[in-house]
Each structure stands twice: as structure tokens, then as C-alpha cells.
Amino acid sequence: MALFDNPLALIALVVLVLAIIAIGLIFIVQKKANNNTYLILGATDAGKTALFTRLRYNKKSPTITSMKENEATIQLVDDSGAAITKQPIQLVDVPGHERLRFRYADFMPIARGVIFVVDSTTVGRSARTTAEYLYDVLANQHTTKSRIPIIIACNKTDLFTALPTSKIQTLLEAEINRLRATRSAAVEQQESSGDAIADYLGYEGQDFKFEHLENDVTLIGCSVENGDLNSITEWIADLS
Ligand SMILES: Nc1nc2c(ncn2[C@@H]2O[C@H](COP(=O)(O)OP(=O)(O)O)[C@@H](O)[C@H]2O)c(=O)[nH]1
Ligand SMILES: [Mg+2]
């Protein structure tokens, strides 16, 4: 064939193919590196929108209950005004209403981290429902596959009725342990009916602990009200 008789044409062809592969690889790597979206999740009234507003405008503002996600690109700064992340981050506040929260899953493929906000003053009463939402997030296929780090922000520490972070950890781990038992039973039924199987959270035969997960789960106390958010912003800065 004429093409292969000409060494120059052959070299040009090889160079062209290599260039296309290289451009493709750069595109894939950049796409991964550009995952700089942080999701703010949690039950209604936990303080998600208050946190979003604080991080975005660095001030308090009356929060409005929204049926839609709040999204913004922001540059986090320290007290002296210096940037604490290399590039601006994308912040998404997903409404906690039971009928809307499932939409968080649409953002998981681009999530760099999840900030799961808990109301430390009411979580004692709502541990079950909080754990159900958290379980969903932890078992999400993107969380497990991409090992998305999660910070559980135990908010409203300014109120004297706030439970200590260690107590909240014990409560949530115990509830997830219970949920895991019922959900694995459901999975076994699904398996026999041939449906997709969810990942088992933690170690079989051992009580559930966040530290058994492959992705990092960190619990911290914070107060959006008092602007006590350093543990959250430092966590973001470390990941960005
Ligand atoms: N005392 C106290 N109240 C807070 C704090 N963070 C949020 N709140 C209040 O909790 C309520 C719910 O906050 P919001 O951001 O709307 O919750 P969301 O439903 O999770 O978006 C509002 O009245 C906030 O002012 C906090 O750190 N301390
Ligand atoms: Mg809100």
C-alpha cells in the first residue's frame, strides 16, 4: 500500500495517533482534578443554608427555606483575607426535605467532599432519620468507589442543649448498625431476585464504626451562629 511505502506518512500517522491519546489522557486527568465541588447535606433545620451563606458571604443573613439547591463558586479566605484553597471551590446546599434530598445523588459524580450537617441539639431525638440519610450517602456508589471524604458537622455547639460530638458519633454509629441489619436482609432478598447489590458498610460480624469505612469520615463540632467554622474550612483546604 502506498501509505506504508512512505516512511514519513507512517511516522505522521503514528504521531497523530499518539497526540490524540495524549490529549484524551490530559482531558481525563484534568476532569478528575477539577472535582472541586463540596456538597452540604443533612436534615431540614440543621443549618445547611446558614453554613452556605456564611461561607459564601462571610456573614450571617436571614435564611430562606428553599425548594431548590443553592450553588455558588467561592474562594475561601482566612482571617487576613488570604486564599486558603488553590482555586475557588464549588459549593452546593441541597435542601433536606425528604422529598427533595434524593437530588444530592446527581452531584455525587463531581463531589470532592461532603459536609453532612447535624443539629447537635435535636439529633438525640432524630438519630434514626438522620442515620437513614447518612447511610444513603455512605452507601452511595460514588462515595464508596471514589472514597469521597465526609465531614459530619455537629452544628449549634453555641446552644447549651448541644450534645457532645463523641456522643453524637456513638448515637449515629449505633443507628447505622441497626439499619445495616435490616438493609442487608433487604439486599439478600434483592440478590435472590437478581437485582443490583449495595455495598455492605463496614466489617461483617463487627458493630459498625465510621473508622471501618474506606473513605474518611470525620466528626467535628461547629457553630455557624458564632462563626466557629475553622474545622470545616481547614478540612476543605486540606482536600483542595
Ligand atoms: N443557635 C444556632 N442556630 C443556628 C446555627 N446554625 C443555624 N441555626 C439556625 O437554625 C435554623 C435552620 O437553619 P437553616 O440554615 O435554614 O437550616 P437548613 O434547613 O439545614 O438549611 C435557622 O433558624 C438558623 O438561624 C447555629 O450554629 N447555632
Ligand atoms: Mg436550607
| Residue bearing the bigger pLDDT, 198 or 44 | 44
Same domain assignment for residues 74 and 18 = no
Instruction: Write down the pLDDT at residue 57.
Output: 84
- Are 82 and 22 within one domain? no
Surrounding ion ligand 2 within 5 Å at CB are 48-49
- 132 and 235 in a common domain: yes
Residue nearest ligand 1's atom 11 by CA: 45
Mean pLDDT of 184-193: 60
Same domain? For 172 and 211 the reply is: yes
Residue 2 C-alpha to ligand 1 middle, in angstroms?
A: 74
7 — pLDDT class (breaks 50, 70, 90): confident
Q: Which ligand lies nearest to the CA atom of residue 46 in the structure?
A: 1
Evaluate if residue 160 carries a pLDDT over 90. yes
Instruction: Tell me what the pLDDT averaged over the chain comes to.
Output: 89
The grid cell for 133 is 440519610
pLDDT at 81: 83
CATH number at residue 208: 3.40.50.300
Q: Whose CA is nearest to atom 24 of ligand 1?
A: 47
Kindly state whether residues 121 and 26 are assigned to the same domain.
no
Q: Are residues 18 and 83 in the same domain?
A: no
Query: Do 224 and 144 fall within a single domain?
Result: yes
CB atoms within 10 A of CB 54: 19
Same domain, 28 and 102: no
Among the ranges given (19-23, 25-29, 136-140), the one the predictor scored with the smallest mean pLDDT:
25-29
How many helices and strands in the chain, by DSSP H and E?
7, 6
| Residues whose CB is less than 8 angstroms from the CB of residue 108 and which lie 6 or more positions away in sequence, other chains included | 39, 140, 141, 142, 143, 148
Q: Where are the alpha helices (DSSP H) in the chain?
A: 2-5, 7-33, 48-57, 127-139, 141-145, 165-192, 230-239
Q: What is the domain count for the chain?
A: 2
Using a 10 angstrom Cβ sphere, with 0-12 exposed, 13-18 middle and 19 or more buried, the burial of residue 143 is buried
d(CA 171, CA 164): 11
pLDDT at 59: 67
Q: For residues 9 and 89, state if they share a domain.
A: no
Q: Are residues 56 and 25 in the same domain?
A: no
| Nearest atom in ligand 1 to 223's CA | 27
What's the pLDDT score for residue 33?
Answer: 58
Summarised one tens digit per residue, pLDDT across range 200-222 is: 899 988 999 999 999 999 999 99
Ligand 1 centre distance from Cα of residue 110 (Å): 26
Determine whether 82 is exposed, middle or buried from the number of CB atoms within 10 Å of its CB (0-12, 13-18, 19+).
exposed
Percent of the chain with pLDDT over 90: 68
Domain extent at residue 94? 35-239
* Ligand with an atom nearest the CA of residue 159: 1
User: Which ligand 1 atom is at minimum distance from the Cα of 117?
Assistant: 20
Which pLDDT value is given to residue 195?
44
Give the best-scoring range by mean pLDDT among 49-58, 101-110, 159-168. Answer: 159-168
Angstrom CA distances, 10 to 3, 14, 19, 62, stand at 7, 6, 14, 67
Same domain, yes or no, for 8 and 72? no
Q: How confident is the model at residue 62 (pLDDT cuts 50, 70, 90)?
A: low
The minimum-distance atom of ligand 1 relative to the CA of 63 is 16
Ligand 1 atom index nearest CA of 159: 1
Q: 156 with 162: CB under 8 angstroms?
A: yes
Query: Does 53 share its domain with 18?
Result: no
The ligand with the least distance to the CA atom of 44 is 1
Q: Is the pLDDT of residue 197 over 50?
A: no
Mean pLDDT of 186-205: 65
Range with lowest mean pLDDT among 18-22, 31-35, 162-166: 31-35
Please state the φ and ψ torsions of residue 90, each to the nearest 5 degrees: -100, 130
Pocket of ligand 1 (CB under 6 A): 42, 44-50, 63, 96, 155-156, 158-159, 223-225
